[in-house]
Chains A and B, each alone.
Chain A
Amino acid sequence: MKFFTPFRKKSPWILHYNAGSCNGCDIEILAALGPKFDLERFGVINTGNPKQSDIFLVTGPVTYRSRERLVELYTQIPEPKVVVAVGSCTTTGGVFRGMYNVEDGIDRYIPVDVYIPGCASSPQLIIDALVKAGEILESKSKAIEKPFKLFGAIETIGNKLSRLNMAKKVHDDED
């Protein structure tokens, strides 16, 4: 859709998902959207709908139960899309690394474009990252991006996707 491309550049919409974070980074995202840091001057709007989003903002080290939802949301975002990992625990697992119910960071499941360090990462860093993400979004094509793993819970979607040769299904017992 050539028609929409210039608009997307000017106004990337974000989808925020909490994959088991402590809330610290989430409220910093809210603070960044607030009037002092004013992320909306870059045209960024927080949406709740993956189908309308361009940038996927993930916080949290990915808990056992949120990983399916994470992958599902990721596959629902239309290309081109950019994934931003907010906070230390999202990038590496951080303080939660090695706990029995967490998966040590999101890059085991979906490809990440921008990592933000910090526990909690400050609004300034989040703004920097989103500007960077906007640049990456411009340079990306419409080529389909796959998650690294899919799960049983989205089997029907998984089947449909695999017929399109988009994703390979990995069974739970692998990890």
Chain B
Amino acid sequence: MKKTIQIPLGSQHISLLEPIRFKFECENEKIIGVDADVGFVHRGVELACTRSFEFKQVGYVVARVCGLCAITHSLSYTLAVEKLLGYVANDRIKYLRMLMVELDRIHSHMLCLAHTAENAGFEALFMQIMGDRELVMEVQEAISGNRVQFDYISIGGVNRDLTSELVDLVRKNLTTLSEKMEILTGLFDNNWSLSLKYKGVGVLTLEDAYTYNALGPLARASGLATDVRAETSDFPYEALGYTMMLESTGDIHARNFVRLREIVNSIAICRNIVDNLPMGEIQEKVKGKPKGEEIVRIEAPRGELFYLVRGNGTNTLERVRIKTPTFSGIPAMMEVFKGSQYADAPAILASFDPCMSCTAK
């Protein structure tokens, strides 16, 4: 007689924001094998970027690969094209771009924390975090004009300037948010019932993180020091107070804590940016057509985002290759599921913060 039972999760499920299907091989309550199917939302963005759109439009198209890290996508693409065109942005543009990326990171991490809480059964905590998150969304809407898809970055600059009223709003909301973050950090650290669901659940060891090429907060929670912000010099992160957040235990609790501390760090970076904003133009003329090949890496909220852009001197590009953090992280995620309880599966899944529309494109 067969000892194991198969339990499917997805493709449509209350705990999933996006369609992904898991087939869990379970022995009683314990998961011993996982099979994932991620291709439900494949749309064919990469091909369309090289066929139906000109290179000036592609920045807005790749933003629609993912709504959560849209700004990172358009930033990576824009950087790649600007490198091909031999253009280096001035400091004001760099700072404004960084500001939006960090705001985006804050809201994305908060959504992940909220979603993990909801999937672990803490509905009130979900509501609390979603309520605090609106502070960031307000700032983003005021700066860029849209809450989610900003379309803020264009080739040669950014589309809107940061006025002094906006600076005041950013300062005010971020101050409120950092007070709320203190409360949340205390809650995540000390609450007993949260610790039951989070501590020691879904552990990814350092060796596994290394072997399976984990990325972003998932890797940093296991103690693997990898962060593109520290590895590349496209943006002056070090000067603006960036520090890498590392935990060692690798469970859901550690992943939550990496995110919480990164939010606090991002708030500090945003404050530094608005305090030290250099003067300059926000939009400069960039001439020419992209020719050659360029690689760009940017730290998205979920890890390293990789772009390859190849142009041949015409208006349409030859190749746009997008490698997203979730795609690279899937082997590590599969490893975590093995050996954990089936009832914890939704919370573990949410704690990876997977983004299927990124993965399938």
Chain A contacts to B: CB under 8 angstroms: 17-28, 30-31, 33-36, 46-49, 60-61, 63-66, 69, 73, 89, 94-96, 98-102, 119-120, 122-123
Contacts A25-B67, A69-B19, A120-B147; A20 near B41 (Cβ below 8 A): yes
Q: What mask results when residues 49 to 92 of chain B are scored 1 for a CB within 8 Å of chain A, else 0? A: 00010000000110011111010000000000000000000000
A63 touches B43 (CB 8 A): yes
Q: Take A99-B43, A101-B42 as given contacts and tell me if A35 and B17 are in contact as well, using a CB distance cutoff of 8 Å.
A: no
B67: A residues at CB distance < 8 A: 21-27, 120
Taking a contact as CB atoms under 8 Å apart, the answer to whether A34 and B14 are in contact is: no
Of B13, B44, B64, which is within 8 A of A22 by CB?
B64
Question: Count the A-B residue pairs with Cβ separation under 8 angstroms: how many?
Answer: 132
Known contacts: A17-B12, A18-B19. The answer to whether A28 contacts B147 by CB under 8 A is yes
Task: Count B-side interface residues using an 8 Å CB cutoff.
Answer: 42
Q: Which residue of A lies closest to B126 (CB)?
A: A34
Partner of A24, one of B14, B41, B137, B149: B149
Q: Which residue of B lies closest to A119 (CB)?
A: B149
Is A48's CB under 8 angstroms from B15's CB? yes
**Chain B residues with CB below 8 A from A122, complex form:** 147
> Quick one: given A22-B64, A22-B357, A96-B64, are A35 and B127 in contact (CB under 8 Å)?
yes
B312 located at the interface, meaning its Cβ lies under 8 Å from any Cβ of chain A in the complex = no
Q: Which B residues lie within 8 Å of A61 (CB)?
A: 43
Residue on A with the closest CB to B73? A22
List 7 tightest A-B contacts by C-beta distance, closest first.
Answer: A48-B14, A24-B67, A34-B130, A23-B67, A35-B131, A120-B148, A24-B148
Tell me if A23 and B18 are in contact (CB < 8 A). Answer: yes
Listed by A's residue number, 26 A-B pairs whose Cβ atoms lie within 8 Å are: A17-B19, A18-B19, A18-B357, A22-B70, A24-B64, A24-B148, A25-B148, A26-B67, A27-B68, A30-B114, A31-B130, A31-B133, A34-B127, A36-B134, A61-B43, A63-B43, A65-B42, A66-B19, A69-B11, A73-B12, A99-B45, A100-B47, A101-B42, A102-B44, A119-B64, A120-B67
- Report the minimum CB–CB distance from A147 to chain B (whole Å): 16
Cβ of B91 to closest chain A Cβ, rounded Å: 30
Supposing A48-B13, A65-B39, A96-B64 touch, asked if A34 and B149 sit within 8 A by C-beta, the answer is no
**CB pair A98 B147 closer than 8 Å:** no
Contact B43 A34 (CB under 8 A): no
State whether B68 touches A23 (Cβ < 8 A).
Answer: yes
B355 at the interface (CB under 8 A from A): yes
Known: A24-B67, A66-B40. A98 touches B48 (CB 8 A): yes
